[in-house]
Chain A
């Protein structure tokens, strides 16, 4: 099928670089201009389709940059990132990093906004799993508590932002302008029901959550929290964090 393959390579080359090549010679048309006009329908649709995918995945970045600036940068991403996947779901994966690498690099705040939007997508269609019900804690006998190891729900993500990015996101999506306040914090994203939720984490809870994800047993979790809480207060803090994680549905299982 080398003849067909050659036609497809020339056709695809045209879609990727319409200004540089002329497309397959066997494309029918009364004139080179007419052939080009017909091929351009495909070339333009290709570009527009991928830009629309980015617009769908990064609506707040678009809102913050404005439609035309977003279209320019999205065009450059499309030109340098041909898709290799059957699905468009992951096409925008490298877009946050690209915002920094681009010829007109964007601020770190915009990059964070893009990272936040991509993370929301990851949480949205992450694998399904039952969350551990809140009463499960009550069923753990006291002697088992020190060795308790928790397993996070697969839809949970933790992220560190230097700006108040989730608040900026909500403001932009509500149609208010983008204001970028510096407010370093860690954030937890999770799925409740079918929707994506998030909240900020204090430094103690953020440390504890990461430790929990790393299978650190409960006893060591309490010990680690002594950095922020004195004596018995560390264990109390650990218990109340654990209760909140269960209420939020971010724990999939406990092992002891």
Chain B
């Protein structure tokens, strides 16, 4: 009898133009939390998809409890008690929580659904593992954090023993991440074996027992967490030491780039306004960070700045030009770039090629067409240039369909596109979500470079480390008001936390001018 509940031995998987997994061996002990770490596109999701039966490996074997098994589809995986929470959730939006959990394994009697039995089991599981959900709420109405708990319950409901989490924390707020860590520990205590993908090294240090590192499709090694450090992990992953703190010189901010005056934006969720009479500026050569807990008006504020939504009242100007009534295209032309928070919804046309996506904000410029005829050569050349400059990795270069790219590389494509427009104002919302530390380092450097070249940067981030690390000035938003303004050098994460939670406030009107 082997120690390992799951062994993936010498797995190789090729996609057109790329070896996503090259002779990888991964061994999962029973009852451990095993982290999988690697750069964007290293092949982590691919490897897990093979274990879950979504892809078939060209070479290699999978063993469960020492026995060779064949996993041709997710049903096979389920029969072997393997469950997976995907990087992008797979829930039916218009179904209730309960319906989603039992989908495909509905308990029936004379083909009538035994709803009560299902409900009892779900309630019992959610108490046992502290996964609070509302069984009758519709998926589209609940928070991302609860959606994730639904995904976890789905696995538990199927009595899965081996649980795969593909970047579960990328979409969560810091508070939700804390809760998830506790849940994972609870699952481990109940004897579940867990595979956990994340880019955040502190999460690995916190919950994992061992960690396997992949780089460019190859296995670099497996280490015990007790005997390693953040530095060593990051070196294994990137192949060089990574600088986690951003270097930036002191800079005296220049003229005002963006001025927001008394901006009020309606909410789509409730009758009150989401943004209430907010005023602030962003000046040339500074990174202003908007910090706050998700759902306090950040999204609506950004929609109003970028022109996706019309404000109720107020004014906004870019370098003195009034843009309050301008179209999205005109704002973009005037010099606003925008890295959106939901890359699949707003950032990319997933069925277009990488080249087509890289020109999405500027295909209309004269250099990319002659009288409406697309100049493919120019488009491809431009794309190739960005791909090498920003190290966007994919199977078939500029011609890769973006849907097939790894999540982190999709994000890099957006960042490249928006920064390369050389905007006066860069609005970046969670720009490093889902990125590996090497890429995060790179993007932070880019944000600072924008600032140093005299541009304004407005950063929205839920991650306080990032906020403290890159910003020059921090605005805290709470319930649609700006409740505090801080210099990162003179404040602490704890203090920011108090303001973000609404425990303290000193209303800022007009901002620091």
Say if A and B assemble together. no
**Residues on B close to A: CB < 8 A?**
none
**Residues on A close to B: CB < 8 A?**
none
